[in-house]
Every structure is written in C-alpha cells, then in structure tokens.
Amino acid sequence: MSSETPDQTAARIRAVADRFFAAVEAGDIEGVKQCYHPDVVIWHNIDGLEKSRETNLQTLAGFVKRAPERRYLERRVDLVAGGFVQQHVVRAVRHDGFVLTMPACVICKVEGEQITRLDEYFDTAALTGWFDVG
C-alpha cells in the first residue's frame, strides 16, 4: 500500500477497527471472519496461546450465543505503525440478565483490509460468575 498517503493509511486502518468491532457487537461471525486474514494469529494473555481464525470464530460464536447484547464502551483507538491499539470496556448481558463489565485492550496488526494479528489483554477476575449459568 505504498501509494497511500499517511491520511489514507490511517483512514483504512481505522475503518478496519470500526468494521471489526461493529461486527462483534452485531454478532456477525461472517463479518468478523472477513475482517480477519485467513492466517491471522489471535493471542490472549489469559492462556498465552496463539489461536487460528477458525478457533477464535468458534469462541466468538459461543460468546454471542451466551450474550445476546454486547457493546464496546469507552473506546479509545490509537493508530500505530501497521495497525491499532484499542482500549475499551466490554459490556455483555447474558440471557438471564447477568452483566459482564470488563476493561480490555486489543492490539492489532493490519495489512490491507484485514487483521493479521490480534493480541487481547484482560483481567479474568471480571469473568467471575460469567460461566456459572446462562
């Protein structure tokens, strides 16, 4: 993408971030899949494992099923060389009304229109009770 101006690059990366989080909020698994490069690597601080797109999409589908309402609040997006960092608060509501509120940070590398790597950091203490029912 060397023909892009810095403003065009910034707009492209910001659009990828917006499209990705809008798809997650909407429960649009296919939309999330389109945001991911086929060889994307997804890593979470809670297990330290690198996972594939397919594994992540299965996890996300389970999250969507458990929590029909999902929002990313207090979004702060900073562009960095080749990607973006987003800090946010995940607010998810289970079918039974249990509310999850969890601060998190996602660091993404972007190539073209797709995320090639996603590293997510969050404190598992916020998950207390999340898997008890629902």
Write down the number of H helices and E strands in the chain. 3, 6
pLDDT tens track, the chain, 134 positions: 468 999 999 999 999 999 999 999 999 999 999 999 999 999 999 999 999 999 999 999 999 999 999 999 999 999 999 999 999 999 999 989 999 999 999 999 999 999 999 999 998 888 887 777 65
Cβ neighbours around 18 below 10 Å, total = 12
Say what the pTM is: 0.91
| CATH class, 6-127 region | alpha beta
Q: Which of 34, 32, 87 is nearest to 64 (CA)?
A: 32
Give yes or no for a contact between 99 and 82, defined as CB atoms under 8 angstroms apart: no
Give residues with Cβ within 8 angstroms of 68, minimum separation 6: 27, 93, 95
Domain ranges of the chain: 6-127
Please give the Cα distance from 42 to 21 (Å, whole number): 15
Beta bridge pairs of residue 112: none
Give yes or no for a contact between 41 and 107, defined as CB atoms under 8 angstroms apart: no
pLDDT at site 133? 64
